[in-house]
Amino acid sequence: MSAVDLVKNDYVILAKLDEVADLARTNSMWYLSFGLACCAVEMIHAAMPRYDMERFGMIPRASPRQADLMIVAGTLTNKMAPAI
More confident residue, 62 or 6: 62
- Is 21 within 8 Å of 14 (Cβ atoms)? no
Residue pLDDT, tens place only, 2-41: 545 545 556 666 678 787 777 777 778 888 888 888 888 8
The residue type at 8: K
* DSSP label at residue 17: H
Q: Rounded mean pLDDT of the chain?
A: 78
Q: Is the pLDDT of residue 1 over 60?
A: no
What pLDDT, on the 0 to 100 scale, is given for residue 5?
53
State yes or no: pLDDT of 45 exceeds 80.
yes
Residue partners of 79: CB distance under 8 A and separation at least 6:
none
Tell me the average pLDDT across 33-55: 83
How far does CA 54 lie from the centroid of its chain?
8
Which domain covers residue 61, as residue numbers? 5-83
CATH number for position 47? 3.40.50.12280
Structural domain count of the chain: 1
